[in-house]
Structure 1
């Protein structure tokens, strides 16, 4: 029970990696405030975990008013916040920079980056009281780049840099700030992508071969790393952008 009785504020917690994190945090003893803009998914995960120890908050993380209210609701319910996991994010569009529309650019920046600013702005006071921690979901592509996803990779590179600056700024409050950097993960979005390909076997082979360990993982491997970084086992780790990638970033390969 590495997170026993911790109060965690988790954005994007109703699907993909966030869903696996919500499940793992609950398993490790945390009280989870699950934030999502999808009401049916939100209701499903809260019902699964049990609403006596967890709450679901319908919220657009790019909205200052809604994030402020979600933070306030969490503190009203549990009395404090011990950790904020900024996991919410979008990937669209799959395009080169000059083909990205202004609206797409702003939407990516608002959801992937501005949301971290907002949760920090309104959650910091509580984290100072608990000497809590912040965890950001970045991505390996923020370090190595990705074809046809220029704007998305810009947000993830920004998250990794922001994590380090936040770690320095908030160390004086004993608030740790770290990030996880997955490569490909077998989320519903990735599974849908595989199904859309003309050659599904080739697509499966591609996402497995990318990882030297030889397979594309489920979201639970990311959740395990997140539990560690939010727990006291990582009490002297801050400013870390941890690859959870099966070695996808390593070296030349045949």
Structure 2
């Protein structure tokens, strides 16, 4: 029970990686406040977790809604021990010149300004609890990605922001870290995969970009998140933890659909 009696404010917690984190946090003994802007999945998630946890409908890009969600959490639980900034969007998949102003702004409103809002309104509670912050980043924030310029820009910014926040809040004994997945099977990724010319070929590609040989489910990210929010990670801050199966290592290319990926060729 690594997170016994902890109160965790989790954004984007009703689907994908966030949903897996909500389940793992609850199993580790935490009270989970699942914050999301999609009511159907939010209701289903909190029904699964149980009544000791809470669901709050909230758009992290809207400061008034985030402020209200934080206040609601404090009124019910009296504290916040951790904020996990997991809410994010990935669309559109375009090069920079094809990205519209609104697409650019929306990516930054959700993926970055959402972190600003939760920190602004939740910091006093974290100072009181000597809590911690976890941001969900992405490996592409470090290595880049074709036809995904605005998204990768937001995740690169999340990495830098995480390190600066770690320095700013260390005097308050608040740790700030990030997890950086490569590809992870989520509803969003499965939908994208279904739209490709060959689903089977793309599944093979997603499998083999990871040297460990498979594209994981979100539970592998959730296990790392539990560790980073626990006392086991009490002397870790400013860390961008790559939970990527080694996808960032070496040179790799697919020879054809049936052969293994070769390294260093």
TM bucket (normalised to shorter chain) is: over 0.9
Aligned to 1:7: 7
Matched residues, number: 253
Tell me how far 1:194 sits from its aligned partner: 1.9
1:88-127 equivalence runs, <5 A:
88-127=87-126
The structure with the larger Rg is 2
**2:9 counterpart SS class:** strand
Tell me how far 1:252 sits from its aligned partner: 1.7
Tell me how far 1:109 sits from its aligned partner: 0.3
Tell me how far 1:195 sits from its aligned partner: 1.8
Tell me how far 1:192 sits from its aligned partner: 1.5
Aligned to 1:26: 26
Tell me how far 1:198 sits from its aligned partner: 2.1
Cα distance in 2, alignment partners of residues 196 and 120 from structure 1: 36
Cα distance in 2, alignment partners of residues 2 and 58 from structure 1: 27
Cα distance in 2, alignment partners of residues 191 and 39 from structure 1: 21
Q: TM-score, normalised by structure 1?
A: 0.99
Tell me how far 1:79 sits from its aligned partner: 0.3
Aligned to 1:228: 227
Tell me how far 1:218 sits from its aligned partner: 0.1
Cα distance in 2, alignment partners of residues 193 and 98 from structure 1: 22
Q: TM-score, normalised by structure 2?
A: 0.95
Cα distance in 2, alignment partners of residues 240 and 39 from structure 1: 33
Aligned to 1:162: 161
Aligned to 2:237: 238
Cα distance in 2, alignment partners of residues 120 and 161 from structure 1: 15
**Which runs of 4 or more aligned residues in structure 1 lie more than 2 Å from their structure 2 counterparts after TM superposition?**
none
- Structure 1, unmatched stretches of 5+, are none
Once the two structures are superposed, residues 135-193 of structure 1 have per-residue CA deviations (whole angstroms, 9 ceiling, x without a partner) of: 00000000000001100000000000000000000000000000000000010111112
1:40-119 equivalence runs, <5 A:
40-51=40-51, 53-119=52-118
Tell me how far 1:197 sits from its aligned partner: 1.8
